[in-house]
Amino acid sequence: MRATITLDPAFIVGPVRPRVFGSFVEHLGRCVYGGIFEPGHPSADASGFRGDVLELTRELGVTMVRYPGGNFVSGYRWEDGVGPVDQRPKRRDLAWHSLEPNQIGVDEFMAWARLAGVEPMMAVNLGTRSVAEALDLLDYCNGPVGSTLADRRLAAGAATPYGVQLWCLGNEMDGPWQTGHKTAHEYGRLAAETGRAMKMMQPGLQLVACGSSSAAMPTFGAWEYEVLTQAYEQVDLISAHAYYCESNGDLASFLASADDMDQFIDAVTAAADAAKAAGKHSKTIGISFDEWNVWYQDRAESQPPQGDDWPVAPVLLEDHYNLADAVVVGDLLIALLRHSDRVEAACLAQLVNVIAPIMTVPGGPAWRQTIFHPFALTARHAKGQVLRLAIDSDCHDTQRFGSVAAIDAVATFDQVDGSLAVFVANRSTDQVGELAVDLSSFGELQLVEALTLHHDDPHFQATPDTQSSEFLGANETVAIEAGRLQASLPACSWSLIRLQIVGR
């Protein structure tokens, strides 16, 4: 397989947006309890936050974390999670058929987010609740002291408002599984009124309306158009959610998942722009891709408990990722970055234990899954502007998507320090990719680093004891001469190539 890419610093898609490297912490399974929070763990601080998870969260390069759900938020009473911990109620969580002990709530999450160095992104419950409760939560989080709710935050030790800027107006309200599921019209009206009231309290907020929970939803497209017809002026972004997995042994289609994400983003953009035109609006709605990942939803580990079994923090959605999953995660990030003109925020779902890059052993170590690495490397090295690259790749056939490009790539260029990063996936299951990149527009460049994520077995899984050098290492084939870069990319691989303008 061959591919040629031409890069020019003048051709820009948009800025690399830090919020694209967001993640997600939901009260689900062992994400909160046993994930970020495990009192008594050897690395835990006085608040019970695991220090090893905090360290890996920082290493992952996560910039923003969405909280507290997810499906969980649609039945959540945020007031249960504030005030003296020993007086907080235990409630049944219908979304995951679990018992919520409310040992962690808004204040604890904000304290954790500060330690992790991430921006909090909050979701309000528009399933079982409405405008008043959203306003109450907003006042509790962001209000200056003086109101009863802001003073309750003060009493919890937070005199300074949390300053949460980005808010989700509910979660996946298009899904019949959602507690308080609504039609597009019902939800659009509620989002409009909630958004209007929240902005009356704090005009500068950025609000995310629920888009579709997947492009496969029967209402997809019409949902976005109707919701934005109702709420266009009150919201700033519309959400998109997508999960991918290898099914029926069809690795070739799975590796091309980013093409599906591209089409999804383009369709959401079209629906949002149609609502803009029809409503004669002047602002443009951005996309918050606030749930994306690989998720094997049909496996036993994703089935919630049943009947009288309402456990606290059960093992749920604990997918064990392989090398191909990591290549797909790397390529999905490529797709998100190449839409940086429109995708303003994104959240890898989720952060710890639940379909997560970070796993924990109770009382034991925290460790990195395969998908940790492409995320961490992209978050660290994608800087400046995303370049509009011209790519010409050989194609191969897939069952799900027909003919797809074997090589997929995106590049970012930081004009300030002269660093260029090329992120590239070889999506062929069995062919080496020979890549040539024309970089002559940049002047003299030197190679800084070339790393490739690959294993001869695409289903190789990392364990707590695996060294990343078993599947991530220097790619010695990468060379640059007279403005032309050459690289050999193994089948089913993801690579990062870093270059630097000489003399900068």
Min dist CB 126 to ligand AHR, Å, is: 13
Amino acid at 325: D
Min dist CB 239 to ligand AHR, Å, is: 10
Q: Give the SS3 label for residue 436.
A: strand
Q: Which of residues 386-425 bind ligand AHR (CB under 6 A)?
A: none
Contact criterion met (CB below 8 Å) for 500 and 419: yes
Output 170 or 490, the one with its CB closest to ligand AHR.
170
Cα 142 from Cα 144, distance rounded (Å): 7
Q: Out of 69, 120, 180, 458, which residue is the one contacting ligand AHR (CB under 6 A)?
A: 69
Q: Out of 9, 34, 70, 314, which residue is the one contacting ligand AHR (CB under 6 A)?
A: 70
Min dist CB 69 to ligand AHR, Å, is: 5
Q: Out of 172, 174, 246, 344, which residue is the one contacting ligand AHR (CB under 6 A)?
A: 172
Contact criterion met (CB below 8 Å) for 372 and 358: yes
Contact criterion met (CB below 8 Å) for 210 and 279: no
Output 107 or 172, the one with its CB closest to ligand AHR.
172
Output 25 or 439, the one with its CB closest to ligand AHR.
25
Q: Out of 27, 65, 66, 71, which residue is the one contacting ligand AHR (CB under 6 A)?
A: 71
Cα 418 from Cα 385, distance rounded (Å): 11
Q: Give the SS3 label for residue 445.
A: strand
Number of residues near ligand AHR (by CB under 6 A): 10
Q: Which of residues 329-358 bind ligand AHR (CB under 6 A)?
A: 349-350
Min dist CB 297 to ligand AHR, Å, is: 8
Query: Facing residues of 6 across strands?
Result: 390, 438
Q: Which of residues 123-142 bind ligand AHR (CB under 6 A)?
A: none
Q: Which of residues 420-449 bind ligand AHR (CB under 6 A)?
A: none
Min dist CB 262 to ligand AHR, Å, is: 21
Q: What angle do the packed helices 323-338 and 257-278 form, to 10 degrees?
A: 30
Q: Which structure tokens are listed for 333?
A: 């990030």
Residue with tokens 């959605």: 317
Min dist CB 70 to ligand AHR, Å, is: 3
- Does 224 sit near ligand AHR (CB under 6 A)? no
Output 213 or 340, the one with its CB closest to ligand AHR.
213
Cα 411 from Cα 13, distance rounded (Å): 10
Tell how strand 22-24 and strand 343-348 pair up. Answer: parallel
Cα 305 from Cα 96, distance rounded (Å): 7
Cα 323 from Cα 371, distance rounded (Å): 8
Min dist CB 442 to ligand AHR, Å, is: 40
Dihedral in degrees, nearest 10, Cα atoms 189, 195, 199, 204: -140
Eight-state DSSP code of residue 234: G
Residues 86-125: x where in contact with ligand AHR by CB under 6 A, - otherwise, as a string: ----------------------------------------
Output 354 or 377, the one with its CB closest to ligand AHR.
354
Q: Which of residues 22-51 bind ligand AHR (CB under 6 A)?
A: 26
Output 68 or 418, the one with its CB closest to ligand AHR.
68
Catalytic residues: 172, 291
Contact criterion met (CB below 8 Å) for 297 and 249: no
Phi, psi (deg, nearest 5) at residue 454: -165, 150
Give the residue at shortest CB distance from ligand AHR. Answer: 70
Cα 456 from Cα 322, distance rounded (Å): 12
Residues 280-299: x where in contact with ligand AHR by CB under 6 A, - otherwise, as a string: -----------x--------
Cα 47 from Cα 339, distance rounded (Å): 39
Q: Which residues bind ligand AHR (CB under 6 A)?
A: 26, 69-71, 171-172, 213, 291, 349-350
